[in-house]
Structure 1
């Protein structure tokens, strides 16, 4: 599915530059703006860094209806949520949206509102669903560019949930390597004069659980084995 970012009457060029950079970080190329090209000031291009082409190719519209007319699924975003008194303001989280993203075909448009008062109710009503980033009650409203970054990240990461898009070149520890690590650790504990006998079994159990949760690599396992051995190979 193609993702499009749609901004409704943004006020600050610097935010647009940061948003363009966020979009490039997460493989989103198309930016639509309800407003005029004057918003693309020097600050926008400075903040965009290497994502200036996204600003150069931005499309401008006079109203939101036109900006989403060819979008298959539109998502409104907000920091102002409600309950039963305003069903249009009952949101899902960015993570929930990301999980649904793979089942949506066509074009996904994510609509962001003004920096000061966000999207109006009539804007939200034009969209299919509402998304809000969970934040602290002490300061619940995110900067516009930060909100864009969080939502695009969740969508991007979910698409790589089974294959992270960078190669760490790390081989997971084999069963034999993990068993060897546990054996050498247990022998290390048994030799220790600083650990009371009644604590040794629990130490072994705790370490086994830590190793199990850590998904350690072969390199990490062998490095730890070296520490727990009587003598490390030179």
Structure 2
């Protein structure tokens, strides 16, 4: 079970937006290190239909108390390190989505302050660091946007393409062959040079084979060429 932990957030609007994206991707438990006053009118407005997550949010006075019952703790940061700062050598959200499948127990996903992020002493208490690849021109993301990106990767890794499993039949090999045949017959009847006819046939065949069209789309095009 993944718990989203916000460490001393400064803006109620961000907290409300975090609750909203948690609801979007099926995450339920929000922990906040800080004052309950952060759940203000702006937070409730930004949460929209995720006010229940704000109402059930758990508050803690210290970072240690917020993580003491967790089995695995993941820190997030926009500041990345290297050989001189091994504490800030991160993995990407997509890599996290794969690694987290092997983790059992209660997991904490920790997000730092909007201005200063997580302090080094807080990072020391975490098991893993995640950072979102961004443009060097403006690398630091808004808190709720960063939460959205990471929760999306965790969610899509879990559900795969199930949400796209709708009742659409892909065009069969026979559908495609018949479509190409009807197109070729259509082109043969046109008053254009032979070399252009052949080129049109080749291009159309490539387009059909590359497009992953549905059966319905293939038969609609056939009707037009008829």
In structure 2, what is the Cα distance between the partners aligned to 1:45 and 1:25?
A: 16
66-75 or 43-52, larger mean C-alpha shift: 66-75
In structure 2, what is the Cα distance between the partners aligned to 1:206 and 1:83?
A: 49
Q: Does 1:216 align with 2:213?
A: yes
Residue by residue over 1:25-44, the C-alpha shift from the partner in whole angstroms, topping out at 9 and shown as x without a partner, is: 00000000111111111110
In structure 2, what is the Cα distance between the partners aligned to 1:69 and 1:78?
A: 21
Q: Does 1:172 align with 2:173?
A: no
Q: 1:186 to 1:71 in 2, by over 3 A?
A: farther
TM-score, normalised by the number of residues in structure 2: 0.91
Q: Does 1:60 align with 2:59?
A: yes
Partner of 1:14 in structure 2?
13
Q: C-alpha root-mean-square deviation of aligned residues, in Å?
A: 1.9
* Deviation of 1:118 (Å): 0.9
* Deviation of 1:225 (Å): 2.1
2:183 to 182, 185, 210: 185
Residue by residue over 1:137-177, the C-alpha shift from the partner in whole angstroms, topping out at 9 and shown as x without a partner, is: 1111111000001110111111122x422543212112211
* Deviation of 1:215 (Å): 2.2
* Deviation of 1:226 (Å): 2.4
SS of the aligned residue for 2:102 comes to coil
9-18 or 212-221, larger mean C-alpha shift: 212-221
- Aligned residue runs from structure 1 range 79-228, under 5 A: 79-161=78-160, 163-194=161-192, 197-198=194-195, 200-201=197-198, 203-227=200-224
TM-score, normalised by the number of residues in structure 1: 0.88
